[in-house]
Amino acid sequence: MEKDREALGLLFDHLDIGEDGVLRIAGQDCAALAARYGTPLYIMDEDRIRERCRSYLGAVRDAFGADGQVLFASKAASFKHIYEIMKEEGMGIDVVSCGEIRTALAAGYPLSKAYFHSNNKTDEDISYAMAHGVGTFVADNEEELYAVEKEAMKRGVTQKVLLRLTPGIDPHTFEAVATGRVDSKFGSAIETGQAEQVVKEALALPHVRLTGFHCHVGSQVFDSGIYLRAADVMLSFIAEMKARLGYEAEELDLGGSLGVRYVKTQPVLDYGSVIRSVGAFVREKCAGLGIRMPRVSFEPGRSIVADSGVTLYTAGTVKRIPGYKNYISVDGGMTDNVRYALYGAPYTVLPATKMTEPRTMKASVVGRCCESGDIIQEDVEMPASIRRGDLVAVLTTGAYNYSMASNYNRIPRPPVVMLKGGTSFEAVRRETLDDLVRLDV
């Protein structure tokens, strides 16, 4: 049965097929959703997002005790309602810009629980974040540390700061999203001695309180060994700083990156078991090094929201070039999902209204933008009967789709519709043509 579901592309347990062959998400009929809200349409299963928050928090607290934290990396999906969910679920958050801070603020999210990332915070960013009481800044480098000190001094406050370090680990994932290596644009390297230098400087700053260290190894990590290696390097560094500088970090943030399933060849990762194995390792390692166990945080973004999301499109032109290739054009594209164009990201694409028909035609599913790279996915298996007006669903679009959306070709961005307890509502409305000209003076 599970095999049959996989063969049909039903990668997650909230997906099934109605008697009429139409894809359902959390029991709700895709065709009805498309009729009500229009296409392209971002759908997110709110119950599934909340369940994920709870299981993450439960696992982190089991593994690290009551002060273990889960910070939702909100760049994965940033809009007001998501921050409301995070507030209600007791999640921390990461923010990377004033825009994300402003959105969290609009949701009434308590910013003292927010961590401010980014590899280049401007003076304006720093001032805005401090004015609104963002709890912790994650300083990427030395220069930023001084900029934070300057602003904190001006305001007469002491700012909590974590230092972002690069543990020198290549997570064997896409090069473009590998961020934990020594030559990364993010963080200060442990290996080169630069990290220690920055720690010394941070400790000398009167308005900065260095609470500990942060690392983030990359993206789409399926191997828990990566986290053990990162924790190993980071804890050894904490022990070294204790021995050499008499400074013992209170907090260790191990970043995000846990993998999600885009296609059936990728595994279903048990996040709880990854976290528990890191917990056991950290306890043992701290005991061995003779250091206190720091407060441990994880920063999952993708793995909180990605598989709650489905994008629905309406097929337009179906073009067959005999002997070459078939194309199915949809009413969205790189404006609502740029990830294939950006780095060849895989996706599962389904004939949402013809789920039970044999899929005998291979086609590229492409968008409607004026770019030949505007592709959602290539070599998708579709029913030969697919035609204009049929619905096409793309799975696992809850992360880095809406948040990366653009208005290229002056295409309005789709709404985000939440599914909750058998009902649905717009969390973000559809952009109108008037919205598109509202900034033009």
Nearer to ligand PLP, 219 or 401 (CB): 219
Say whether residue 75 binds ligand PLP (CB under 6 A). yes
Say whether residue 368 binds ligand PLP (CB under 6 A). no
How far is the C-alpha of 212 from the C-alpha of 67, rounded, in Å? 15
Say whether residue 188 binds ligand PLP (CB under 6 A). no
Nearer to ligand PLP, 222 or 237 (CB): 222
> Which residue, among 123, 126, 77, has the nearest Cα to 104 in the 3D structure?
77
Active site residue 286: no
Q: How far is CA 402 from CA 92, 143, 339, 398, 431, in A?
A: 21, 32, 11, 8, 12
User: Quick one: residue 247, left, alpha or beta (phi over 0 = left, psi -120 to 50 = alpha)?
Assistant: beta
Say whether residue 257 binds ligand PLP (CB under 6 A). yes
Asked whether the beta carbons of 123 and 147 are under 8 A apart, the reply is: yes
Q: In this chain, which of 14, 52, 81, 302 binds ligand PLP, going by CB under 6 A? A: 302
Interface map 198-217 toward ligand PLP (x if CB under 6 A)? ------------------x-
Say whether residue 134 binds ligand PLP (CB under 6 A). no
> Which residue, among 384, 420, 429, has the nearest Cα to 402 in the 3D structure?
429
Number of chain residues interacting with ligand PLP (CB under 6 A): 17
Q: In this chain, which of 125, 151, 299, 374 binds ligand PLP, going by CB under 6 A? A: 299
> Which residue, among 430, 62, 433, has the nearest Cα to 274 in the 3D structure?
62
Interface map 104-133 toward ligand PLP (x if CB under 6 A)? -------------x----------------
Q: How far is CA 394 from CA 100, 116, 350, 365, 377, in A?
A: 26, 31, 6, 10, 9
Nearer to ligand PLP, 117 or 359 (CB): 117
| Cβ within 8 Å of residue 275, ≥6 positions away | 56, 59, 60, 62, 63, 298
Nearer to ligand PLP, 117 or 285 (CB): 117
Expressed in angstroms, the distance from the first to the final Cα of the chain is 58
Nearer to ligand PLP, 218 or 294 (CB): 218
Say whether residue 76 binds ligand PLP (CB under 6 A). yes
Say whether residue 303 binds ligand PLP (CB under 6 A). yes
Interface map 376-405 toward ligand PLP (x if CB under 6 A)? -----------------------x------
How far is the C-alpha of 259 from the C-alpha of 94, rounded, in Å? 18
Contacts to ligand PLP by CB under 6 A: 73, 75-76, 94, 117, 216, 219, 255-258, 299-303, 399
Residues acting as catalytic residues: 370
